[in-house]
Amino acid sequence: MKKAVYPGTFDPVTNGHLDVIKRGSIIFDTLIVSVGRNPLKETLFSVKERMEMIRDHVKELQNVTVDCFDGMLVDYLKKQQTNIILRGIRTVSDFEYEFQRALTNRALNKEVETVFVMTSEQYSFLNSTLIREAVSLGGSVNQFVPADVEKRLKEKFKHMYGKNS
C-alpha cells in the first residue's frame, strides 16, 4: 500500500488544496493531509480550525485522513510509516521552491520521495495569503474557497477588526 503525506499550512484551505487532495486520493491508497505548526508563520486560524475546515470537505474520501504535526516533516513521515510527500505545483516559482524543499528533505532522509501534482488550471493563481487579503478588504472569494470557509474568514476578520467584510 502506498501512503503519502500532503503537508501544508492550509490557512485557509482553498479549492486548489481540495483539488490536490482529491487527485492525491486517487493516486495513493492512503493520503494524510497534515496541518503543519510552523513557528515562523503567523496564522489566522488555529490548527484545530484548519483541520476542521479540511475534514468538512474530505468526508467523502474514504482513504483521506486529517492530522497535524510539529517539527521536521521527515520525522513526521517516519512516525506515519511512509516516505512519500505530496505537493501541489501552481507555477514555475512554486516548482523552484518545492524542488529545493524536496532536495532538503531527501538530504535529511535519503528514503524520502516527493511527488508533485500540477494544480488544475483554474486554481493556478490561488494562494491562501491573497484570499485572506481579499476578505480583509471586504472582497468576495466564493469562487476560490468553499462557502463555509469564506463565511469563517469573514467572521474572523469581523471579530478581529470589527469589519463587515
Residues marked active site are found at: 17, 41, 90, 128
What b/e sequence results for 41-65 when a residue is b if at least 16 CB atoms lie within 10 Å of its CB, and e otherwise? eebbbebebbbebbeebbeebeebe
Burial status of residue 140 (CB atoms within 10 A of its CB: 0-12, 13-18, 19 or more)? exposed
DSSP count for the chain of H helices, then E strands: 6, 5
